[in-house]
Structure 1
Amino acid sequence: MKTLYAFCAAFVFAAGVVSADTLPTIRAAVLKIGTVNWELETIRKNGLDKKHGFTLVVQPFADNGATRIAVEGGEADLAVADWIWVARQRAAGKDYVFIPYSKAVGGVVVPADSTASSLKDLAGGKIGIAGGPLDKSWLILRAYAAQEYGMDLKADTEQVFGAPPLIFKSALGGDYAGAINFWHFLAKMKASGMKELISVEQAGEALGLDTDTPLLGYYLKESFLNDNPDLAQGLFAASRDAKQLLATSSVAWDAIRPRMNAKTDAQFEQLKSDWVAGIPDRGPVDEDAANTMLALMAELGGAELVGQATTVPQGLFADVE
């Protein structure tokens, strides 16, 4: 009997190994210090990839350009981008599909002693902007200023464009009347005493945009997903499970704190709070809402921003729920 039991146990163990080994693998190309690592590490640490039928392998890269080359060249299966960029690629003939990840967006912060109460109070001042003239947060804030105050934010201020860490450092040093940065740098700026003047979410709402539309997401090749029909839903489900865990468990955050580059407890708490606030509602992307946003981006940024994607390309958003 003991021999039979041992044989059965060994068989079950071996079968489990074979089953795990035969799961499809998703190779994620990510920035080494990117915030998406917080979710991906939570997925891996808690076995949420295996739970949902795949094995996640994370491949760090130095910059976004390298992650995009990795996916295009077949060295990786997944990377992160905003859906407007993915729409541009799909409209140009690439078979990229977008799976929602986050609605976290930036905003404008001002020094702690600033008397500014709205964007119009920044007239004549200098604004530091992470990214370039086609940064989507900057474009939305320009549209908002024009609608609310009849103000040409570009003409009425001096812009300084730069990398997010540079804008972060210069803003804390008091170099700008206001600063626009990516959400996680803004979180640290707020934790360091700067005040949020207006968020891109607030500006978007005033412009009639659906601010629950996830801006950021995972993109993969449609051909890869066709070869693995359940993978899109599996990835989305693992992502949602990780979000639920991070929204409810301080232990889950403690596990990834070393990756967060939080210099103080205040930064750590603000990063946690703003990340959770960026969790979108579960469900498919509303294409009508996305088309409204895309139309505004096309109006403000033209073909230089959206390329041939004047409307949301068919099949852009993965069918997940």
Structure 2
Amino acid sequence: MKRTVFGHWNPVSRMRGRRLVSKLLLGGLGSLVVGGLVTLGVEGVPQVRAAETPVLRAAVLKIGTVNWELSTIQRRGFDRENGFSLEVKPYADNGATRVALEGGEADVAVADWIWVARQRAAGKDYVFLPYSRAVGGLVVPKESTAKSLEDLKGQKIGIAGGPVDKSWLILQAYAREKHGFDLAGETEQVFGAPPLIFKTALQGETAGAINFWHFLAKMKAAGMRELISVETASSALGLNPDIPLLGYVMKESYLNDNPKMAKALYGASRAAKALLASDDAVWDEIRPMMNAKSDAQFDTLKTDFRAGMPAPGNVDEDEAATFFALMARLGGAKLVGDAKELPAGLFVKVE
């Protein structure tokens, strides 16, 4: 008679045992198996091991340019290489992405650090991880004779982003402090959504336009000329134009629970940037999401995206404080809220 180490061999018991294992695998443990890995232990009894790869949920604007980088991260496996799995959650507008972050529906969103500083000063535990230094500028029609901002006196300027748009504020400061010219007082401003400013500028309804960088890229591809960049104006004002304005925003409480995630995301981001900066072929993969209507638009978008890639390393907090002080002086509470100075702990240390 056959025996096992546990006693007499019983074919009925053996069959029941097999059925039990099947039920555990396919039924009773279903909710656990979905999120983990199943291994067989002693006598074939299943053991469930929790998944080792954490998921990072990113709330992004559905048509946002950050998707170019995030798609590259996913396609090339840079998230897995850095120990996490990226899940992209698209939303219709930036406000919805921020609600998702605040409400715990997402772990990370994208915003500029001036906004993050405002939220932090208001008591929220948001922190900033650098992503892009892409900024705008002011463009004029190709037939325009304007050579400086002063040449726009008495004319209309289309501005995306509203009266406290950061590009608009910097250009005002530049015109006043370097040329003694009141840009806001001596011109007529037309504020509107980026697509509207794009359209009216191309139709010649404004003498100049300030828009988000990717719309400006398309405007330049259509023949418009950059009169002055925000980068040039910032440098003239003694600001560091290399400070990355846009970044990934997370909660400190989330990073306390996931202490490796900030550097993991940063590592994946830098890997994607390195590939996008050096390999033209990879752009063919993301071209469908770029909404480029022509090869000229595609090439300009690619060039300007690359130009907006910040150098690796931590944000210089002293230079950021100088920049923030200017924004607070020019934009006031409408821009920075209750923040009087750069909040401590705003920038995540990546090195």
Whether these two folds match at TM > 0.5 is: yes
The separation in 1 between residues aligned to 2:161 and 2:133, in whole angstroms, is 18
Return the offset for 1:21: 3.6
User: 2:62 maps to which residue?
Assistant: 32
The one-letter amino acid of 2:209's match is: A
Task: Confirm or deny that 1:146 pairs with 2:176.
Answer: yes
Return closer, same or farther for 1:256/1:284 CA change in 2, 3 Å cut-off.
same
Give the 3-state SS of the residue equivalent to 1:283 in structure 2. Answer: coil
Return the offset for 1:23: 1.2
Q: Which has the larger radius of gyration?
A: 2
Any conservation in 2 of the 1:294–1:311 contact (CA below 8 Å)?
Answer: yes
Any conservation in 2 of the 1:20–1:50 contact (CA below 8 Å)?
Answer: no
Any conservation in 2 of the 1:129–1:179 contact (CA below 8 Å)?
Answer: yes
Give the 3-state SS of the residue equivalent to 1:247 in structure 2. Answer: helix
Task: Confirm or deny that 1:188 pairs with 2:188.
Answer: no
1:157-306 correspondence runs (5 A):
157-306=187-336
The separation in 2 between residues aligned to 1:197 and 1:189, in whole angstroms, is 13
Task: Confirm or deny that 1:318 pairs with 2:351.
Answer: no
Give the 3-state SS of the residue equivalent to 1:279 in structure 2. Answer: coil
The separation in 2 between residues aligned to 1:217 and 1:72, in whole angstroms, is 16
Q: Which moved more, 1:299-308 or 1:89-98?
A: 299-308
Any conservation in 2 of the 1:294–1:310 contact (CA below 8 Å)?
Answer: no
Percent of aligned positions that are identical: 69
The separation in 2 between residues aligned to 1:44 and 1:244, in whole angstroms, is 15
The one-letter amino acid of 1:220's match is: M
The one-letter amino acid of 1:253's match is: W
Return closer, same or farther for 1:19/1:46 CA change in 2, 3 Å cut-off.
farther
The one-letter amino acid of 2:81's match is: K
The separation in 1 between residues aligned to 2:164 and 2:301, in whole angstroms, is 26
User: 2:160 maps to which residue?
Assistant: 130
Return the offset for 1:174: 0.4
RMSD: 1.4
Return the offset for 1:251: 1.6
The separation in 2 between residues aligned to 1:310 and 1:291, in whole angstroms, is 11
User: 1:9 maps to which residue?
Assistant: none
User: 1:4 maps to which residue?
Assistant: none
The separation in 2 between residues aligned to 1:229 and 1:84, in whole angstroms, is 24
The separation in 1 between residues aligned to 2:38 and 2:153, in whole angstroms, is 69
The separation in 1 between residues aligned to 2:304 and 2:38, in whole angstroms, is 44
The separation in 2 between residues aligned to 1:295 and 1:58, in whole angstroms, is 34
Give the 3-state SS of the residue equivalent to 1:179 in structure 2. Answer: strand
5+ long unaligned stretches in structure 1: 1-12
Any conservation in 2 of the 1:27–1:57 contact (CA below 8 Å)?
Answer: yes
Relative contact order (alpha carbons < 8 A, sep ≥ 6): 1 or 2 greater? 1
Q: Comparing both structures, which one devotes a greater share of its residues to helix?
A: 1
Question: Normalized against structure 1, the TM-score is what?
Answer: 0.94
The one-letter amino acid of 1:282's match is: P
The separation in 1 between residues aligned to 2:119 and 2:296, in whole angstroms, is 39
User: 1:23 maps to which residue?
Assistant: 53
The one-letter amino acid of 2:265's match is: L
Any conservation in 2 of the 1:31–1:62 contact (CA below 8 Å)?
Answer: yes
**For residues 262-281 of structure 1, what are the alpha-carbon distances to aligned partners after superposition, in whole Å with 9 as ceiling and x for unaligned?**
00000000000000000111
The separation in 1 between residues aligned to 2:57 and 2:50, in whole angstroms, is 16
**Residue of 145, 149, 165 corresponding to 1:119:** 149
Return closer, same or farther for 1:156/1:277 CA change in 2, 3 Å cut-off.
same
The separation in 1 between residues aligned to 2:56 and 2:133, in whole angstroms, is 23
The separation in 2 between residues aligned to 1:298 and 1:127, in whole angstroms, is 23
1:54-65 correspondence runs (5 A):
54-65=84-95
Any conservation in 2 of the 1:100–1:285 contact (CA below 8 Å)?
Answer: yes
The separation in 1 between residues aligned to 2:119 and 2:246, in whole angstroms, is 15
5+ long unaligned stretches in structure 2: 1-36, 40-47
Return closer, same or farther for 1:28/1:193 CA change in 2, 3 Å cut-off.
same
The separation in 2 between residues aligned to 1:41 and 1:312, in whole angstroms, is 32
